[in-house]
Structure 1
Amino acid sequence: MTTNKPRTHDELLDAVGPAFSKLRRTSLLEVENPISAKDLSRTLVLNIVLEHTQGSGKEITVGAVAELLGVDPSVASRMVTDNIKAGYLIRAASQQDGRRTVLQLSAEGTELMARFRRHQREAFEYITAGWPDHDRLEFARLMLQYVDSLSDLRNRGLTTGAKDS
């Protein structure tokens, strides 16, 4: 628990950045059916493929994965290749442009993502078990609103160049 609780609005807002950094350094708690550290990193790529193709008929390439992760294309290529070797992703010919290769989740990748989603929810419920239901639901609602705002920034082109830092 934080020992020095923010007292003012400015202190509270200043504490958000370090809190996000702490979240990034802390892996999800091991709840039932934990995800391995390797598969946890694989879900970064799988989540992007799932989010950008699920039910939309859209396609995604390694280049798009690199852009969305904010990494060099060679790094994204290695991450994608690791997922393919693990059996979670499949390379396929584009239905829109036969010269392009696109990525699709395999059945194993779909199952890993379903297990990962269950794991995330279980971890959230475990971490917030002592919270009043209203606070848990409000935090979840506000987190989703925050993530939607991030997507809005990307759509408005306000995040370009940020990955170079």
Structure 2
Amino acid sequence: MTEQKPSRRDPDAELLDAVGPAFARLRRRTTQVPVTPPVERKDLNRNLLLNVIDEAEGEMSVGAVADVLAVDPSVASRMIADCIAHGYLVRLPSQADARRAVLQLTEAGYELRDRFRSQQRQAFEYITRDWPADERRELARLIVKYADSAVRAAAAPPSG
């Protein structure tokens, strides 16, 4: 039997390897933080969908939503139908091609989007309540920078 020596991994590698699991924990645990009004199970999908449509540059169809969310069109269609049924979205004829339907937030949709943003801010403030103000601001700045970079990276053509 050979004896294994403890590996001397690069500490940066260990830190970077921990990022993925940390994001997964954030996704699971952030919704458990006390906010007003409380986050409901359906809110997670609605928040995701409303943000995708709100942040889109140009028109969003069911197919475009499915592409952005990397889900089957039938899944996107069910998510959209739920938001339409609750008055958060409407289907309108495309300005570019009247044969296509595009999605747009309603006034209630914008109000729900704003409620989600308020809940997310409350969660951030609650989770970091014991942190120094400068660390809270720096984390907020870096999260926004990371998200902006993710958008640019997803839009960039693959290299190779």
Identity %: 52
Tell me the distance in 1 between the aligned counterparts of 2:78 and 2:158. Answer: 28
Matched, 1:14 2:17: yes
Q: 1:21 to 1:33 in 2, by over 3 A?
A: same
CA-atom RMSD in angstroms: 1.7
How many corresponding residue pairs? 149
| TM-score, normalised by the number of residues in structure 1 | 0.84
Q: Which runs of 4+ in 1 moved over 3 A?
A: none
Tell me the distance in 2 between the aligned counterparts of 1:113 and 1:130. Answer: 27
Aligned-pair distance for 1:60?
0.9
Aligned match of 2:134: 134
Q: Secondary structure at the match of 1:131?
A: coil
Aligned-pair distance for 1:24?
2.3
Q: Secondary structure at the match of 1:130?
A: coil
**Per-residue deviation, residues 109-137 of structure 1 (Å, max 9, x unmatched):** 11100111111111101110111111111
Aligned match of 1:93: 93
Show the 5 A alignment for 1:4-153: 8-28=11-31, 29-52=33-56, 58-153=58-153
Q: 1:86 to 1:24 in 2, by over 3 A?
A: same
Aligned-pair distance for 1:30?
2.4
Tell me the distance in 2 between the aligned counterparts of 1:85 and 1:147. Answer: 30
Tell me the distance in 2 between the aligned counterparts of 1:140 and 1:158. Answer: 29
Is the radius of gyration larger for structure 1 or structure 2? Answer: 2
Q: Secondary structure at the match of 2:18?
A: helix
Q: Secondary structure at the match of 1:102?
A: strand
Residue segments in structure 1 that go unaligned for 5+ positions in a row: 1-6, 160-165
Residue segments in structure 2 that go unaligned for 5+ positions in a row: 1-9
Aligned-pair distance for 1:74?
1.1
